[in-house]
Every structure is written in C-alpha cells, then in structure tokens.
Amino acid sequence: MEFDIIITNAARAAVGPEALILALAAIGLNMHFGYTGLLNFGQVGFMLLGAYGTSVAVATFGWSLWLGVLLGLILATAFAITLGLPTLRLHALLFAIVTIAAAEIVRILVGSTDAIGLTGGPLSISFDAGAFYDLNPYPDGPNDRYGAGTFEFTGQQLWVMTVGWTLVALVSVGVFLLVRSPWGRVLKSIREDQDAARSLGKNVFTYKLQALVIGGLIAGLGGVLDAIKTSGADPNGFRPQVTFFAYAALLLGGLATYIGPVLGAILFWFLRELIESFLRQLVAQTWLPDAIANFFDGAEGIISVGMVGLALILLMLFRPQGIVGSRNEMQLNG
C-alpha cells in the first residue's frame, strides 16, 4: 500500500476542475436551498444548459467561444425563469418534483437521436476551446508539468483551475455581498416563513425568482467551465446524481454559510478519490482473498460514492450543521 499516492491522488481531486465545478453547483444550491428554502432538485439542468449552450454555439453554430459562454448563461437564466414562473407558487415539495423532472426533460431532449444535428444527441458533442487556452499563461509543452509526484497537472489543467477557482472566489464574494444585505434578509425570512414575509409587504414570488435565477446562473457557470474543461459535453454527464452530489457537498460544508459549499465540494472530491484510490490499491494486494478482490475490482468508483453517502449520514447524525455551520441555528425548529 502506498499511502502517499492515495493522499496525493485525493488532494489532486480536491483542488482539481471537478471540485471547482461542484463548488459552483453547490454555491448556487446554497442560494436556492440554504438561503431561500427552495428545494431545487434540478440543479444539474442549469449545468447542462451552461455546458450545452457553450458547446452547441461553438460546434454547431460556429460562434466564438465567448458568445458560446454567453449563450450558456442565457439558457441557464431562461431555464430558471421558465421553471420558476409556473412553479414557484407551488408547495415546496411539488416544486422539488417539478425541478427534478425539468432537469431530466432537458437531458433527455439534448440526448435524443432527433437532436443529433443540433447537440450531437446521445453521442457527445465536442468543440474547439482554443480561444480559452490561447490565454493560458502557463507554458504547456509536452513535458511541462506542475506539481510533484501524482499531485501534478498539465499547463492546460492548471489554467482551467486558475480561472475556475478565481470564479469560485468571485462568486462567493458576490453571494456574500448579496446575502448580508436587506435583500438577503428577505430571502431568509422566506425560508423561515413565507407568510410572515408576505404579511410585511414582501413580494415573495419575485424574491424566489431572483434567487432561482442567481443560483441557476452560478450552476450554469459551472456547466460552462465543465464544457471548456472537456472541450465538449455528454448527456450522461448530467444525470440527476450530479444534483445530489451538490447537495452532499453543501450539507458536508454547512448549509447557509458562505464558505460551506466550497469546503464541502473540496471535501467531497477528497473523500471520494481517497476511498477510490484506497480500494484500487487494496484490490491489487496479493494477501487479499480473490472473492473480496473480485467484488471490489471495477466497482471502486461506485463504492467510494456510497462511502461518501455513508459519511454524509454520519455527519447528519453527529454534526448536522456541517463543517462550518452553527449547531445552535440547526437545532431551532419552527
């Protein structure tokens, strides 16, 4: 067992592009659920539209990458509005059901064979993200590597990470500025009791829609980065579990906290890769009985997600407020 490799693998995942994309999804979800109390189970739909907006604009329409980014963000906003207008007046649980269905609808639509000409359908779509990498200040020759051992990135990866984490920081500051304002106070009052907010003259529907759009845009930005990172998009990358990973990250870090979703996303990928790496090494051990080795072999990824789920359950039992949340606040009910 080479534990140093397991740890560096995990650390690599914790700061890598996947973690920052998850962080953006979780920050958006925090805006929805953490501050406004909107039970959005369709966060992945916003990410999909960000990713496909960018990909389709560049690959199918032949637009520039930057126009593609803009289209991705516009589509995420449009999704928030079309989703929100008819459903935000519904009960919280009905809203949750509609959101998960809406996200599935867009995934099935872009992945359908009828959409091959536009989105590539069930095949993935790919485009040239050169305009993004042209700005890369890190030398990116075939031998350029950054980091040490398995904690190592190419120049391109490092550039995605630099831009991505900068965006995570900017978005976090933006959310902080919004939420500490009287506007944020209204959001929290809606989360606590929307009739109380109404009785004090707040137009609850408008605030919910604003929160839905902002959180959706942030997730859409995550989708855009995902498309740039992989130079394309694949409908299978936007299954409902992505939303639940974002929830896991949010709950791990701490609901309705500024830094919680970011820490949670980092921790989520750290744990996931830690367990997966560990299992992969375990399977290779000669002392392990074949039956057990065969059981784990090839299932490391799935099992590690399951273990993260288990960690989440334990967290809810022993530290329900997440890493940075306040326990006092968590224990207040009604």
Does the footprint of another protein cover residue 309 (CB under 8 A)? Answer: no
Provide the token pair at 202. 């707040």
Q: How far apart are CA 225 and CA 306, in angstroms?
A: 26
* Nearest distance, CB of residue 28 and another protein, angstroms: 16
What x-and-dash track marks residues 122-161 binding another protein by CB under 8 A?
A: ----------------------------------------
Provide the token pair at 212. 């839905």
What x-and-dash track marks residues 258-287 binding another protein by CB under 8 A?
A: ------------------------------
Name the one range near another protein by CB under 8 A: 3-11, 20-28, 129-137, 200-208.
200-208
CA angle 304, 49, 168 (to 5 degrees): 65
Does the footprint of another protein cover residue 189 (CB under 8 A)? Answer: yes
Name the one range near another protein by CB under 8 A: 147-155, 184-192, 265-273, 283-291.
184-192
Q: Which lies closer to another protein via its Cβ, residue 66 or residue 176?
A: 176
Q: How far apart are CA 162 and CA 326, in angstroms?
A: 31
Provide the token pair at 43. 């966060």
Does the footprint of another protein cover residue 319 (CB under 8 A)? Answer: no
* Nearest distance, CB of residue 296 and another protein, angstroms: 43
Does the footprint of another protein cover residue 177 (CB under 8 A)? Answer: yes
Does the footprint of another protein cover residue 204 (CB under 8 A)? Answer: yes
Alpha helix ranges (H) inside the chain: 3-15, 17-29, 43-59, 65-87, 92-111, 116-119, 130-133, 155-179, 182-192, 194-199, 204-230, 241-253, 260-283, 290-296, 300-318, 327-331
Of 327, 189, 185, 165, nearest to 262 by C-alpha is: 165
Q: How far apart are CA 90 and CA 92, in angstroms?
A: 6
* Residue choice 196, 284, 288, 292 for contact with another protein (CB under 8 A): 196
Does the footprint of another protein cover residue 239 (CB under 8 A)? Answer: no
Does the footprint of another protein cover residue 30 (CB under 8 A)? Answer: no
